[in-house]
Chains A and B, each alone.
Chain A
Amino acid sequence: MSAPGTRRYICFYCGTVYDEALGWPDEGIAPGTLWEDVPDDWLCPECAATKADFALDEDD
């Protein structure tokens, strides 16, 4: 399994990937932000699913 800081989380609904290394700067989430530090009310930027709808990419 990937180490913290390099993990990727995938939106169940639309497949959007949150990559810890990249963060989501457009939404104020800096590169390197760990998944657990992403705010709980953050929504998928593509489809508005909740953070809880993202799952760790086990293939990494």
Chain B
Amino acid sequence: MTALAAPANVPPDRVIDFDLYDFPVEGLDYQGSMRALFQANPAEVLWTPRNGGHWIVKTNADVAKVLADNDHFSSRRIMVTEEVSDRPPLVPLQLDPPHHAPFRALLQAALSPKAVGKLGERARELSIELIDGFKHDGHCEFIGQFAQHLPIAIFMEIVGLPAEDRPYLTEIAEAAMRGATEAERNEAGAKLMGYGMAKVAERRANPGNDLISTIVRAEIEGKPIEDFPLTGMILLLLLGGLDTVASTLGFYAQFLATHPEHRRQLVENPDLIPNANEELLRRFPIAILAREVKADVELGGVTMKAGEMVMVPTPMDGLDENKFADPLTVDFARVKPGANSTFGGGVHRCVGSVLARTELRIFLEEWLKRIPDFQVKPGSNPRVSARSVATITSLELVWDPASVK
């Protein structure tokens, strides 16, 4: 790729040539590796010629500012890329306020704490069932047997999709998020859309009590939602619901597998789990967001021009030492670790975060009760795969079957 020349408004000392969608990760520490990359480049805001050329913010203050400032930053485009996708915008994520609000309200009702309370019990039953299914084996491939199973099965119950479609959907969501080429990602996105729209047609003909039926029946400003935004809404649900908690669970499990003293703390004192959940979310965010500059704005000593893109790596909020002391250290007693941007921020903060938190907490509670000691299988070589969302593609865990409860 030929490097783009930086536009005139980019000071030369802010230019750095790296691709944050594809950078070297040390072991499985995606977040720590990202932070090290930024620490080597101390300027507050950077600009890279990669992916069409874009700004990168890297402090907790700037991450929060960009996500909160709807006057200067738009979520019309949420990825930095040279190529133009023909996907419909993800709704409501890619709508600016106030247009996003009625669509978001629909999702918020389905994912409210009250609604999630019932789903949480279902998630607990399923977690126990999954863990009991393999705990006596002394090993599992965590991603396939648990991380991609629990949250996706719960999500599929919310949207009323058949359980047998889970492997197919998991595979195309993976290709849509992290396929090797733009063409591969777009093709998988198109498959996901096709699947979603077929379900929309089914629910129009035969509505149920699921979220797709609710969306199909909903009216916004007195009118049913048109097919184009409806497609974007279903696609957002599928991408959000199929990938994110599964990816986060992988990072939780690899951390616990390699930190026996932390495991022991939670086994001996389960009351620590709610705060530990927030601390692990702070330490292991998986998403890089992006915004388009709507109107010229000064940030971090530079002028960003309308139309330019800004990358917003969410790990850099929770891993900023000005906000959290000794940020790479996981400390289950840390005070208020939850005040971070792991779920984004501002009006587009992750609408599924109540459910995500619940599922992650239930994993910690039910797994550690049954499999208190486990490690990464010696000789296995787990790897991180990332673009805008990072994941661990395979994680072989082993334990002594005699130690399970």
Q: Which residues of A contact B (CB under 8 A)?
A: 12-15, 41, 43-50, 52-53
Contact = CB atoms under 8 A, between A and B. Distances in A.
A48 B68 contact: no
Interface of B: 64, 68, 108, 112-113, 278, 336, 338-341, 343, 345-347, 349, 353-354, 357
A50 B349 contact: yes
B338 A48 contact: yes
Contact of A15 (B68, B108, B113): B113
Contacts of B347: 50, 52
Given A43-B345, A45-B336, A46-B336, 19 more contacts: A12-B112, A12-B113, A13-B343, A14-B357, A15-B113, A41-B68, A43-B64, A44-B339, A46-B338, A46-B339, A47-B278, A47-B339, A48-B64, A48-B341, A48-B345, A50-B345, A50-B349, A52-B347, A53-B349
Most B C-beta atoms less than 10 A away, residue of A13, A48, A49: A48
A41 B345 CA distance: 11
Nearest to A43: B339
A29 B353 CA distance: 27
A49 B113 CA distance: 14
A36 B305 CA distance: 34
A60 B343 CA distance: 30
A49 B347 CA distance: 9
Contacts of A44: 339
A13 B336 contact: no
A41 B341 CA distance: 15
Contacts of A50: 68, 345-347, 349
A49 B349 contact: yes
B339 A13 contact: no
B238 to A, nearest CB: 22
Most B C-beta atoms less than 10 A away, residue of A13, A41, A47: A47
Q: Sorted from nearest, which 10 A-B pairs have the closest CB atoms? A: A48-B339, A47-B338, A46-B338, A13-B353, A13-B354, A48-B340, A45-B339, A46-B336, A49-B349, A50-B346
A30 to B, nearest CB: 20
Contacts of A47: 278, 338-339, 343
B338 A14 contact: yes
Most B C-beta atoms less than 10 A away, residue of A12, A43, A44, A53: A12
Contacts of B339: 43-48
A46 B195 CA distance: 38
A12 to B, nearest CB: 7
B361 to A, nearest CB: 12
A48 B341 CA distance: 7
A50 B351 CA distance: 13
B341 A12 contact: no
